[in-house]
Structure 1
């Protein structure tokens, strides 16, 4: 932004006024002027600069201010020449505590007495520190920070560093000074102000760890505190670098745009991502809390200690935090089978997005806040994490770890690039890491592998080839000839393995000899970021291995995932996948069922209302029958974690596939609970609410809103909101959508209501009409970008006809979304693919019979 100026230190004073939703402040920025200049350009948006001056050599010069709203900067001009050397830039300013969950914002909530209350919080990533104070708001403009806050006497303030001192003022306020931070980027600075309490514990390494919440919710932080202590110990041990700050706060914020934010030493969270109530929280929430804490704590090293130079390398932050967080969780909770779950939550998610033509490379050039915000997606988080896992598998765990330690030690308290990481890993491993990983980072998409095995004889050599995997099968995509260096491993019927590196379009590889009736599987444990298209004979042998559980859960998951992807891309017909599902009828793995059910639900949405829809749902219920019987409805204190997740998943899916017995059971369980006052087990509560709502009337609808109003636990409110989106009556759907824009629903939960309403057959068109009618308010709240805007537009991907596609296209031509241009392109591409998929499969599914599959 300004090569003439380098910030060294900020002294910041902020005074938030929660009653009037405003704040005032002053900042002294100690700068190094690198060359003669008459002007200083600094980031500032939605701030009124009241005065500005620069001091050099004991002389003070006033500065005039000019705003550049498009580039989110203020330009300070000096009539005197500003000379090279040290200087102090002094700025007084004021701003608003906005309600858009960015910058310095206000969060409203009801306290434990049911009274309205407020707190103020910051959310600066990626480019919103400039909304709280004028600053050089770029990740490579690192500096140290000294912050003080003047707040009401009955409030508390939390920031990155411990409190240094405080004093009471004569006007009912107090001023708190915090210790000076290490050198860091502006986007990880934090301040939270309000009526907050905490629980705390000192870790073995001497770090004070605290869990903060609004008053009355402190006890729900006990689980998070225990998890955070364990993860801190694991991460310090893995990285070989002590956590750099004296304390680590985790703060639950009532209104919060994302899941959490990795402010150094002061991590902020959405309440259900941090607070856990053993009596009222589900197993899914138990896992979510641990996962998000692990992800954010990994950022304390990857992102905060070592920071990417510019946002094009965002993946260095997010991918490593995703991968490292899961590595920590897998060590602490091995029974959760986190790496198998990773294949669904991360690898599967990324493969699905990256199969679109309108995807983007992991390393993407970006210039402005709109472009930067769009990088926060499954490519930067999940594809990056998946290729890191692939690289670790290729280099070996110990070698990879040594390379990571070298990278962190070399660049701590500094900025780094992707090439810096590759060089450290290359030096440690002696392998051509930079050459291998270049294509994976800089190229959009990924390959699928075809293999040819001569089944007429015993073989020890097979021909493999690669081609880009794309959902759209058109003349323009058939000649795609990108190639990737692909680490390929194999396993066969005898458990023998081999490792290869495919560099060309095709090549022969040598494997342990297999007979005509023995199988071979590529991509062992799905460690590679690619798909595999098997010939029918090979797939038959592998399906037999699935039936006999001769393959591990990750490999069983990979087979069904790849097969469905080929169906989705119209490389094989839908009936191929449906037939293959029969091999999984004895499946007991929760992650495997997650992947299989994803495919079934995708087909269900696209064929709803078709003549073969009833056959499809009957077959789906048939597939679930055995596992449904095994998990049952009864929860048990001895259930392991994955069993609890599986039960919820299977029963909910059975209801979605219109299993009348399951629907009736959900309805009766809810009626008994309402009549007798007995509590529904937390793991069953959401599915019972949702399935009861699918059959519900106005009376039940009103009951759910009443329960929502009475609950002071956000997780329960979220469950009830999910159910309120599932009523079938159009009038009730419309009412829920209208309520989503009132104070009854938190700003970030409005997005969830829209997304879930749009995910139902009866609600999709109504939700789209609601979005169009209320676009002015939705754009005001979310139009500047972030997860909310992207999720809202992605929700339209379920449409499956040209009329809807045309309407969406025309609406957004008149109502541009510069902060979600790529998401809009992806959504329109997906709808087009839906239309083509229905046409491609209509004959196949019309002649397919569930009776044949059930034999």
Structure 2
């Protein structure tokens, strides 16, 4: 490799590990060097002040037992060589300054055996046969980018492509699989076009690869121009369910958002990783809503991001969104629900506070100011403050630097509503703490936003008993109403918006765990939910009851609740898919049926009878059919289920059988075959 360097005369220190350095030359002349593999440092002591070309010859062996850096992604007896470099594995592939602050233009040339494909961040500008009969690929220079975004893939890739404006979207997969990428390819093309319109900034590369990896330790990675992903997120054939499609579309919308927020503009250091990930997690439902409004992607956002991160943030072990990161080894410790989900929920709260258009203009201004460079979270808040004229920096700083979240107490009296706040914790401890909270309210039939900027405040209201706090659940806080308010909410529960109903139920679930309310109040609202056709609340309560059943199944009130709730909801939507049914109903059935068959023998027997025709079972019910077969047939079901796993042609099909394999009480059944 060769690198152009410019700077003061003296030593050049590069990150490098797990390689053999053969030689170093500066401007064509041999240079001394010192390489310490344990320290991960290559030092070149005498680099001239002027711009110079440093050429490093090195050897890198690809180990069989790694799944990061440059590794073998296996399928059957074959494999492809691919890179996965975030946060700091580029140093295991080539000597470099392996920190996000250091950006460079990469010019790549790769020589391989003939018949092998090579993929990188940019298009191949030339391919020629060498004198010894091999193939040499030369790629276009990349934009200025950080090392962790570099990508190299070498293997027998099969490709399928589509145009999105001036950009070519390309699915790359192992042979015989690319046709299964049609849905994600078309969705990604629309997502790319949507982001260009939202950001008012064109995607800067000529192509975007979506590389489906058969063996991958994480979910997906936003390498600039070459997104990598598990096959199960990209290759969605006829055996994929509606939930699989929603998940795949969401993952791609997340990673494509990174092509601007993270790749075009990159954090200076890993303590701002949250801004990259939070923003992408916030943008993906926004974009999916434009493409598939019938999916109500904010439903999934509330369930999997906002509500899940509230639960994580209520623990004593939580951390601020902007966590202190002293070394790259600490980065993995902050890849969690707080960095992704809470950060995204706070961004949504700020968008609701400043307004959608002011938020969009702030995002665009931020990206234009720092394109091809690095920035801090403070730079983003400053941009939002300028476009909105509101104190965004002060509000945002409080939310990202403090651990935990507030519970807003609501008490009503004649002509008045009073709000108070304190930090909420699942251990029930009362602690001081206040945040500047944008309260999104419905008061006297109208929506309004006020800033609770202290411990308490009151507002006037003609009908205080009808106030709704945290309307549509745009804020990252829980709401504890007084007893009289809960009685009135229960009477009009069916008339509330689905997201408001879900927020009330989820808050009560948190309060139940913390001992702030008794079980009677929570299960009162679960019983109300059992009588409603509300997809989000159905999924949410199904999640809650599964957790409660795991820890308190013998409690009569828990057993009574799921015995009532699961059958009531499955009877409402039907156990089997109807012609013309909305995909959203199918995703709820998949969640609901998986729990129903674990608690209701009649339903389990009914679905177990369909196991003999498993391949003809609709994808939404396959997991439930497999579980039903396991719980009704016992030990005799294990070998047929294991055979399904071994015979499956892709990870998506295997994943639908895994829950059934965990249904056996004898752990030795699972341990030996899977090992």
Q: TM-score range by the shorter chain?
A: over 0.9
Q: Is the aligned partner of 1:692 residue 2:642?
A: no
Q: Is the aligned partner of 1:621 residue 2:568?
A: no
- Hey, what does 1:544 align to over in structure 2? 491
* Structure 1 residues 357 and 616: CA distance shift in structure 2, 3 A: closer
- Hey, what does 1:284 align to over in structure 2? 243
Structure 2 spans left out of the alignment, 5+ residues: none
- Hey, what does 2:438 align to over in structure 1? 487
For residues 195 and 66 of structure 1, the distance between their equivalents in structure 2, rounded to whole angstroms, comes to 35
Match of 2:172 among 181, 191, 212: 212
3-state SS of paired residue (1:96): coil
- Hey, what does 2:447 align to over in structure 1? 497
- Hey, what does 1:16 align to over in structure 2? none
Structure 1 spans left out of the alignment, 5+ residues: 1-26, 111-115, 742-855
* Structure 1 residues 96 and 578: CA distance shift in structure 2, 3 A: farther
State the Cα distance separating 1:491 from its structure 2 match. Answer: 1.6
Match of 2:604 among 663, 675, 689: 663
- Hey, what does 1:95 align to over in structure 2? 60
State the Cα distance separating 1:171 from its structure 2 match. Answer: 4.8
State the Cα distance separating 1:536 from its structure 2 match. Answer: 1.5
Asked if the contact 1:695–1:727 (Cα under 8 Å) also holds between the matched residues in 2, the reply is no
1:111-510 paired onto structure 2 within 5 Å: 116-171=77-132, 173-203=134-164, 205-277=165-237, 279-454=238-413, 458-459=414-415, 461-473=416-428, 477-478=429-430, 480-492=431-443, 495-510=445-460
State the Cα distance separating 1:170 from its structure 2 match. Answer: 5.0
3-state SS of paired residue (1:93): strand
Q: Deviations over 1:214-263 (max 9, x none)?
A: 11001101111110111111111000001100111111010111111101
Asked if the contact 2:14–2:95 (Cα under 8 Å) also holds between the matched residues in 1, the reply is yes
- Hey, what does 2:74 align to over in structure 1? 108
- Hey, what does 1:737 align to over in structure 2? 671
Asked if the contact 2:234–2:248 (Cα under 8 Å) also holds between the matched residues in 1, the reply is yes
- Hey, what does 1:646 align to over in structure 2? 588
* Structure 1 residues 172 and 718: CA distance shift in structure 2, 3 A: farther
Q: Deviations over 1:293-312 (max 9, x none)?
A: 11111111000111111111
State the Cα distance separating 1:85 from its structure 2 match. Answer: 2.8
State the Cα distance separating 1:734 from its structure 2 match. Answer: 2.6
For residues 339 and 50 of structure 2, the distance between their equivalents in structure 1, rounded to whole angstroms, comes to 39
For residues 559 and 715 of structure 1, the distance between their equivalents in structure 2, rounded to whole angstroms, comes to 34
Match of 2:41 among 70, 74, 95: 74
State the Cα distance separating 1:392 from its structure 2 match. Answer: 0.5
For residues 654 and 383 of structure 2, the distance between their equivalents in structure 1, rounded to whole angstroms, comes to 47
Q: Deviations over 1:550-587 (max 9, x none)?
A: 11000000000001111112222333212221121222
Asked if the contact 2:407–2:424 (Cα under 8 Å) also holds between the matched residues in 1, the reply is yes
- Hey, what does 1:29 align to over in structure 2? 3
- Hey, what does 1:527 align to over in structure 2? 474
Poorly superposed stretches of 4+, deviation over 4 Å: none
For residues 621 and 288 of structure 2, the distance between their equivalents in structure 1, rounded to whole angstroms, comes to 24
- Hey, what does 2:521 align to over in structure 1? 576
- Hey, what does 1:20 align to over in structure 2? none
Asked if the contact 2:635–2:664 (Cα under 8 Å) also holds between the matched residues in 1, the reply is no
Asked if the contact 1:590–1:645 (Cα under 8 Å) also holds between the matched residues in 2, the reply is no
State the Cα distance separating 1:84 from its structure 2 match. Answer: 2.5
For residues 589 and 472 of structure 2, the distance between their equivalents in structure 1, rounded to whole angstroms, comes to 24
* Structure 1 residues 541 and 148: CA distance shift in structure 2, 3 A: same
State the Cα distance separating 1:137 from its structure 2 match. Answer: 0.6
State the Cα distance separating 1:519 from its structure 2 match. Answer: 2.5
State the Cα distance separating 1:707 from its structure 2 match. Answer: 2.1
- Hey, what does 1:86 align to over in structure 2? 51
For residues 291 and 116 of structure 2, the distance between their equivalents in structure 1, rounded to whole angstroms, comes to 36
Asked if the contact 1:167–1:176 (Cα under 8 Å) also holds between the matched residues in 2, the reply is yes
Q: Deviations over 1:498-554 (max 9, x none)?
A: 3210111112233x3116xx42221000110000111111111112211xx211000
Asked if the contact 1:362–1:379 (Cα under 8 Å) also holds between the matched residues in 2, the reply is yes
3-state SS of paired residue (2:610): helix
RMSD: 1.7
For residues 60 and 333 of structure 2, the distance between their equivalents in structure 1, rounded to whole angstroms, comes to 26
3-state SS of paired residue (2:462): strand
For residues 389 and 294 of structure 2, the distance between their equivalents in structure 1, rounded to whole angstroms, comes to 35
- Hey, what does 1:754 align to over in structure 2? none
- Hey, what does 2:541 align to over in structure 1? 596
Asked if the contact 2:83–2:153 (Cα under 8 Å) also holds between the matched residues in 1, the reply is yes
State the Cα distance separating 1:172 from its structure 2 match. Answer: 5.2
State the Cα distance separating 1:274 from its structure 2 match. Answer: 0.4
* Structure 1 residues 652 and 720: CA distance shift in structure 2, 3 A: closer
Q: Deviations over 1:696-744 (max 9, x none)?
A: 334321112222222212211221233222223x1xx334234444xxx
Asked if the contact 1:49–1:65 (Cα under 8 Å) also holds between the matched residues in 2, the reply is no
Asked if the contact 1:54–1:63 (Cα under 8 Å) also holds between the matched residues in 2, the reply is no
Larger CA deviation: 253-262 vs 585-594: 585-594
1:706-785 paired onto structure 2 within 5 Å: 706-728=643-665, 730=666, 733-741=667-675
- Hey, what does 1:817 align to over in structure 2? none
